[in-house]
């Protein structure tokens, strides 16, 4: 009995082995190489860089959402108000430049006791907010304290630089909050208390100005141009 396979059998086995080997190589070569951080059909997002500019912080809810004209007072340059003395076109936050938003009434509580415009024989370059008690006065917007001083006319006074050539003035403060010139403030930060400081006797109130232009080398804030805050366009308080 012949124990060795025939030549025909060996040839068939060799042919079969060659076919299996070729098929295996074809399958292996057809699978794409996997690259680091990426799987087949799934894009690699790990290297993407987010270039969006962070949103400006939203304004806090400390500012009055509505404002009344003070009763039992002669209010110069009084804006339009309803029968309950609530200002009709009041906007809590306004735009004072391309990148500057300001609170219209940076006080914890109060009513409008004087508007912007001619008062008797001179221009009243801001607006006045009255309250019987010494309520908090807030920074109207994000910025840097440019000036903090006492003057005979404005009493305890702060000027904040908001950038983009926009400044705000806060006058007649009873006292400052402890901040210093050069300090950075955010909208809604307490900067002082409403008062009646001045070289003359006046009622307690905040005299508030919005100013634009370039800071004077000698005149300082008095080289700036005052704006009527009630004429500025409304802005979104959400940043």
Residue among 126, 141, 122, 121 nearest 235 (CA): 141
CATH class of 93-231: mainly beta
SS3 211: strand
The span from the CA of 64 to the CA of 106, in Å, is 8
Interval 188-206: pLDDT, tens: 999 999 999 999 999 999 9
Transcribe 132-151 into DSSP letters: SS--EEE-SSSEEEEEEEEE
Q: Do 159 and 168 form a contact (C-beta atoms < 8 A)?
A: yes
The H or E element spanning position 23 is: helix 7-29
Q: How confident is the model at residue 54 (pLDDT cuts 50, 70, 90)?
A: low
Q: How confident is the model at residue 237 (pLDDT cuts 50, 70, 90)?
A: confident
- Residue percentage of the chain with pLDDT more than 70: 76
Section 127-156 average pLDDT: 98
The sign of the torsion formed by the CA atoms of 106, 107, 110, 116 equals: negative
pLDDT in tens, 73-97: 999 999 999 999 999 999 999 999 8
- Local confidence band at 238 (pLDDT 50, 70, 90 cut-offs): confident
Higher model confidence: residue 237 or residue 234?
A: 234
Report the DSSP beta bridge partners of residue 136. 193
Strand partners, 45: none
How does pLDDT run across 2-49, given as a tens digit for each residue?
444 544 444 454 454 444 444 444 444 444 444 444 444 545 544 444
Place of tokens 């807030």: 138
Mean pLDDT of 38-64: 60
With CA atoms as reference, report the closest residue to 212 among 203, 221, 204: 221
Please list the residues that pair with 169 across neighbouring strands: 159, 209
Q: What is the mean pLDDT of residues 152-178?
A: 97
Structure tokens at 4: 């060795």
Rounded Cα gap, residues 205 and 49, in angstroms: 50
| pLDDT score at 58 | 75
């Amino acid at each position: 009995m012949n124990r060795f396979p025939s030549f025909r059998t060996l040839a068939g086995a060799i042919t079969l082995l060659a076919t299996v080997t070729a098929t295996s190589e074809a399958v292996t070569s057809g699978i794409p190489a996997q690259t680091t951080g990426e799987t087949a059909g799934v894009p690699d997002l790990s290297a993407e860089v987010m270039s969006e500019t962070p949103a400006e912080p939203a304004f806090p809810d400390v500012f009055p959402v509505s404002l009344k004209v003070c009763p039992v007072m002669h209010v110069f340059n009084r804006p339009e108000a309803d029968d309950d003395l609530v200002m009709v076109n009041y906007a809590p936050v306004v735009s004072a430049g391309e990148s500057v938003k300001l609170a219209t009434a940076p006080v914890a509580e109060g009513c409008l006791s004087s508007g912007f415009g001619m008062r008797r024989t001179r221009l009243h370059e801001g607006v006045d907010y009255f309250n019987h008690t010494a309520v908090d006065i807030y920074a109207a917007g994000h910025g840097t304290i440019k000036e903090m001083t006492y003057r005979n006319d404005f009493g305890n006074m702060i000027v904040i630089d908001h950038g983009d050539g926009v400044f705000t003035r806060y006058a007649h403060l009873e006292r400052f909050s402890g901040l210093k010139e050069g300090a950075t403030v955010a909208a809604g930060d307490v900067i002082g208390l409403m008062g009646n400081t001045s070289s003359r006797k006046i009622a307690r109130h905040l005299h508030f100005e919005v100013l634009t232009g370039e800071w004077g080398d000698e005149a300082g804030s008095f080289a700036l141009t005052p704006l009527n805050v009630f004429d500025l366009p409304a802005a979104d308080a959400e940043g």
